[in-house]
């Protein structure tokens, strides 16, 4: 009896293995993805652009318009890691939003800016009850001061990314503008994770956090955020600028990569702007028409920290 059961199990296992083997074989004979592709380029991007879906639209439209049929291999990372990958030459094209870090890498001669193509804003979100009264703050610096005071009184918590991402860099800049150091305070929590996880964490803890508006709206529209709302905007310090970079590492220093990168940046500054206006307004805004203004903002941001 037991033996028959085992034989049956064995036969089933063999059949399953056979079917799996067949599919594996078919899958890999249909799609020879295991061979490195000549026309592929590694792109490192901040997670938010990947999450919102802008990059995929960019790449698809670009391929449709140019008929170049390039395979963009997208690595979704924080801005800090993305810039490091560009500097290493592990990725050749990067989409990031951390001006002060960007400037550092540019000064080291590791990367070259191709475009400032979009912007949105960071916002301070927190519990709708707003125990720190952030709503009535004069600007983001004042808002952070209020959160600090409320935190010290045990009334509020703040969740930080703590990962050198664009958002984290900005948050630290505001703290330093406020001349406060929340480091090590019991109410100052570091998630060490992406924006979405950090937002969900803040939502669960009824805590304040700084977020790019795109990530917030994306999650809020899916109904995943129950407790936290947008409390403070600040056009001066909380503008969030997205730029596109090309690595100057020798592994990216070839005419093909440069050609594709320039062509892509050209598309993003033209056709891509229409796409942003049509589909992503509010999430990521096109820079067209405000180029010099946004670049000034970018410059101001590099001096913040």
Partner 1 sequence: MAESIFSITIRSLYVSSVASLLAFIAATLLSLVASQLTRRRAEMVLSFFESLVGVPTTVIGLLVYMLLFPGGPLGFLRILYTPYAIIIGEFFVALPMAFTTMFRHFYSLRDSVRELVLSLGEPEKHVPRLLLRELTPILVSSYLTSFSRAIGELGVALIVGGGIEGYTNVLTTAIAIQTSIGNYEYAIWIGLILILITIAITFAVKIVGEYILWR
Please give the structure tokens belonging to residue 71: 């395979």
Least CB distance from residue 27 to partner 1, whole Å?
A: 5
* Residue 201 in the binding site for partner 1 (CB under 8 A): no
Closest to partner 1 by CB, 46 or 243: 46
Helix (H, G, I), strand (E, B) or coil at 222: coil
Closest to partner 1 by CB, 5 or 184: 5
Least CB distance from residue 153 to partner 1, whole Å?
A: 31
CA 77 – CA 87 distance, rounded (Å): 14
Least CB distance from residue 50 to partner 1, whole Å?
A: 7
Closest to partner 1 by CB, 19 or 300: 19
Least CB distance from residue 59 to partner 1, whole Å?
A: 11
Q: Which of 194, 214, 272, 286 binds partner 1 (CB under 8 A)?
A: 194
Least CB distance from residue 284 to partner 1, whole Å?
A: 15
Strands 40-46 and 71-77: parallel
Q: Which of 251, 270, 290, 299 binds partner 1 (CB under 8 A)?
A: 251
Q: How many CA atoms lie within 13 A of 28 on its CB side?
A: 7
Closest by CA position to 275, among listed 53, 90, 17, 111: 53
Closest by CA position to 51, among listed 72, 79, 76, 85: 76
Helix (H, G, I), strand (E, B) or coil at 61: helix
Strands 188-190 and 158-160: parallel
Closest to partner 1 by CB, 37 or 181: 37
Q: Which stretch binds partner 1 (CB under 8 A): 98-106, 204-212, 246-254, 293-301?
A: 246-254
The beta strands (E) that lie in the chain are given as: 40-46, 71-77, 93-96, 111-127, 158-160, 188-190, 208-212, 228-232, 239-247, 285-286
Task: Write out the residues near partner 1 by the rule CB under 8 A.
Answer: 6, 9-10, 13, 20, 23-24, 27-28, 33-34, 36, 42, 47, 50-51, 53, 56, 71, 73-76, 88-90, 193-194, 196-197, 199-200, 215, 218-219, 222, 224, 249-252
């Amino acid at each position: 009896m037991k033996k028959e059961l085992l034989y049956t199990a064995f036969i089933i296992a063999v059949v399953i293995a056979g079917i799996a083997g067949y599919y594996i074989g078919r899958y890999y004979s249909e799609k020879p993805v295991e061979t490195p592709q000549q026309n592929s380029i590694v792109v490192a991007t901040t997670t938010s652009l990947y999450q919102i879906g802008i990059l995929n639209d960019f790449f698809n439209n670009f391929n449709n318009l140019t008929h170049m049929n390039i395979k963009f291999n997208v690595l979704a990372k924080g801005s800090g890691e993305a810039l490091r990958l560009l500097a290493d030459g592990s990725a050749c094209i990067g989409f990031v939003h951390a001006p002060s870090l960007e400037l550092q890498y540019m000064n080291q001669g590791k990367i070259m800016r191709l475009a400032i193509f979009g912007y949105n804003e960071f916002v301070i979100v927190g519990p709708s009850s707003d125990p720190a009264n952030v709503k009535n703050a004069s600007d983001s610096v004042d808002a952070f001061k209020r959160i600090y005071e409320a935190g010290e009184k045990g009334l509020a918590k703040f969740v930080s990314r703590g990962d050198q991402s664009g958002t984290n860099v900005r948050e630290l800049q505001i703290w330093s503008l406020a001349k406060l150091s929340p480091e090590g305070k019991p109410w100052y929590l570091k998630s060490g994770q992406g924006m979405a996880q950090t937002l969900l964490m803040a939502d669960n803890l009824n805590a304040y956090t700084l977020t790019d508006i795109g990530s917030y709206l994306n999650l809020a529209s899916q109904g995943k955020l129950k407790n936290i709302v947008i409390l403070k905007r600040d056009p001066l310090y909380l503008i969030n600028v997205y730029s596109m970079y090309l690595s100057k590492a020798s592994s990216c220093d070839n005419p093909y990569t440069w050609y594709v990168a320039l062509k892509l940046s050209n598309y993003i500054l033209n056709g891509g702007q229409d796409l942003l206006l049509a589909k992503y307004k509010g999430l990521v805004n096109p820079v067209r028409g405000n180029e010099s203004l946004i670049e000034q903002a970018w410059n101001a941001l590099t001096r913040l920290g």
